[in-house]
């Protein structure tokens, strides 16, 4: 196993690595600075787009451009012009909330949750954006939405409220995009001060989760037991995604500055995007939004 720096761009709050198999490019975001980044598999040709608001996540669209979950709702992003256009704000009356982590299901629907910006109150919710641009609430009572991802067959949806100390599993209706039967998939080891952040599922159906503030990546087996732990060179790891031509490189985003004063600082490699090679594990292709 080799851990390398892919891009030292010092993102204030790096998040959401997204490997696109069509373009063979890696995308990621800076949530606080409101930017979308893109580069090649080996970290070259870095480009950035400013989206003018805090951004929680993004998804590429089948017909070009992207869907972005911004502080004030779901928007489209035109990569050619840089223009962002509002689709829908699901929480117009909750000024202290913002949209956060999200991903696309196997059928092309975008699922993203919101969070309380102080990470204290259960004011957030989980939403699904359908290809017809309608928005549907799936769950609520969430402090900080993170780590959405699906089993290889798409029938199990994984998700975490970061400060719950758990990763949850839901039954996922692939026909309707509905969720049911929420249960605890894994209990997170928070003894090192960390909490579950971004996540992905590999080709074997194992769940990889970034333990933010603890500097660890954890691979959970399908029964929720810990299969593997990787110690990272920085503490504030935020999310993970497999990519590269063979989907066998694990890309890891990090933050350069903690969002609140109570969270710890980090070393000189903070804010970098890392690439972990020779893991002997492959990921799954990420879907594009069908709308």
The Cβ-side half-sphere exposure at 144, using a 13 Å CA radius, reads: 17
pLDDT value of residue 36? 98
**pLDDT score for 265:** 74
**Residue 259 pLDDT:** 76
Ramachandran angles phi, psi of 163, nearest 5°: -95, 15
Q: What pLDDT is attached to residue 119?
A: 87
Q: What single string gives the DSSP state of each residue in 200-259? A: EEBTTS-EEEEEETTTEEEEEPTTS-EEEEEE-SSS-EEEEEEETTTT-EEEEEE-SS-S
Residues of the chain with pLDDT below 70 are: none
pLDDT in tens, 69-78: 999 999 999 9
pLDDT at 247 (0 to 100):
98
* Given 33, 197, 202, 266, the catalytic residue: 197
Does 181 carry a binding-site annotation? no
Sorted by where each starts, the structural domains of the chain and their CATH numbers stand as 2-277 (2.120.10.30)
| Residue 106 known to bind ligand | no
Q: Is 278 annotated as catalytic? A: no
- Sign for the pseudo-dihedral over CA of 128, 33, 28, 40: positive
- Tell me if 100 is assigned to a ligand binding site: yes
pLDDT of residue 283: 98
Residue 98 marked in a binding site: yes
* 79, two tokens: 């990569």
């Amino acid at each position: 196993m080799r851990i390398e720096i892919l891009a030292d761009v010092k993102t204030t709050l790096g998040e959401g690595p997204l490997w696109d198999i069509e373009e063979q490019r890696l995308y990621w975001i800076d949530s606080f600075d409101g930017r979308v980044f893109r580069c090649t598999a080996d970290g070259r040709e870095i480009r950035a787009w400013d989206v003018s608001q805090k951004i929680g996540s993004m998804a590429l669209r089948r017909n070009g451009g992207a869907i972005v979950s911004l502080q004030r709702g779901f928007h489209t992003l035109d990569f050619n012009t840089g223009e962002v256009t509002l689709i829908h704000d699901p929480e117009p009356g909750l000024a202290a909330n913002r949209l956060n982590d999200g991903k696309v299901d196997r059928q092309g629907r975008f699922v993203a949750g919101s969070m309380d910006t102080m990470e204290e109150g259960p004011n957030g919710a989980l939403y699904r954006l359908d290809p017809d641009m309608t928005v549907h609430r799936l769950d609520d009572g969430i402090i900080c939405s993170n780590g959405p991802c699906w089993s290889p067959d798409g029938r199990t949806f994984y998700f975490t409220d970061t400060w719950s100390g758990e990763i949850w599993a839901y039954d996922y209706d692939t026909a309707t995009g509905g969720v049911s039967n929420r249960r605890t998939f894994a209990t997170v080891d928070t003894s090192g001060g960390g909490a579950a952040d971004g996540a992905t599922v590999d080709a074997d159906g194992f769940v990889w989760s970034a333990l933010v503030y603890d500097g660890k990546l954890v691979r959970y087996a399908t029964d929720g037991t810990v299969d593997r732990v990787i110690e990272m060179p920085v503490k504030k790891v935020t999310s993970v995604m497999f990519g590269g031509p063979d989907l066998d490189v694990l890309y890891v985003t990090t933050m350069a500055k903690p969002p609140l004063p109570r969270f710890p600082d980090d070393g000189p490699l903070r804010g970098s995007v890392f690439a972990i090679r020779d893991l002997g594990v492959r990921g799954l292709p990420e879907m594009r939004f069908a709308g």
